[in-house]
Amino acid sequence: MLFPDFRGRRLRANKNFRRMIRETKLSCDDLILPLFAIEGKDIKKPIESMPGHFQLSCDYIVKKAKEAHEAGVPAIILFGIPDKKDSLATRAYAPDSIVQKAVKEVKEKVPDILVITDVCLCGYMDHGHCGVVEKGIIDNDASLDLLAKTALSHAEAGADMVAPSDMMDGRVSEIRQTLDEEGFSHLPIMSYAVKYSSAFYGPFRQAAESAPQFGDRKTYQMDPANSIEALREATMDVEEGADIIMVKPALSYLDIIYRLKEEIDLPIAAYNVSGEYSIMKAGEIMGWVNANEIIMETLLSIKRAGADLILTYSAIEVARELNS
């Protein structure tokens, strides 16, 4: 059909027409808010590279969780900054460590918000890698038990869902088996199944104090050039017992989100990561762009690509905008 028989502008003529025929809709139900928990009390330490975000002590984590819930955000995901680190990440799975305490506090005081926990070792390791290091090499299999212990400790603290982000082979199976054996067969796993080795993680590593002390993470995080590998990784995690599959980062990998949505019969999550957020905020600070407008357009593109859930640092602001 060609002009003048077809006139696409007819249905763009006013906002009500545009609302009625809109193909993709962003909802508060899609949003998950990441938060950074730190030991102490009455601490709200600004994260320089992430304007508007902070390392928060448990009392402030509770306040932010309440704020998110009141805005209509259904879930938060917690990342911990421990009081000490070592070569076996012992504070990752200690029952009195920061994430475990934050989970308990939030579930006690804001029980209606879902609490998801990031399961990884990098922030708790003195070398900053996501697994046990032996002779300078990340030992995949030696890391699995520690990851499972971490997930179990989060479950025992009251977490509603665990989210392994380490990219060790076989960790979903190990976590699923451990949770099942310990009476947590009801607890879902959101797997960072497709996590690329990305330059967009810089601000997060500052926020979580988790930068590697040597080398990089390219031996376990994925090569940005690969897409077929993404399907293999996601399929493996599905077979091991994952309930939700995540792609991280989101914007440079919209094609991966789309492909997995076509191939995987599970909900797909996408992480609108720190570097993506910080670039938009920096552009606004410089006076070049309207960050809120770009954020809304960005999240809509992630949703359009096929994501069912979006982890975003803008969750509260977006929820308020959607509800306004």
Q: How many residues does this entry show for the chain?
A: 324
Which residues make Cβ contacts (< 8 Å) with residue 141, sequence separation at least 6?
170
Q: Please confirm, yes or no, whether 281 is among the known catalytic residues.
A: no
Contact 251, 227 (CB under 8 A): no
Q: Residue type at 30?
A: D
Scan for tokens 């090499």, then name that residue.
137
Q: How many CB atoms are closer than 10 A to CB 119?
A: 29
Structure tokens given for 229: 């590998």
CA-CA-CA-CA dihedral for 78, 65, 154, 257, to nearest 10: -50
Nearest to 311 by CA among 120, 78, 82, 154: 78
Catalytic: which of 107, 248, 261, 303? Answer: 248
Catalytic: which of 195, 261, 281, 303? Answer: 195
Angle subtended at Cα 323 by Cα 75 and Cα 252, rounded to the nearest 5 degrees: 60
Question: Is 197 in a helix, a strand, or coil?
Answer: coil
Which residues make Cβ contacts (< 8 Å) with residue 255, sequence separation at least 6?
227, 305
Q: Please confirm, yes or no, whether 109 is among the known catalytic residues.
A: no
Q: Which residues are catalytic?
A: 195, 248
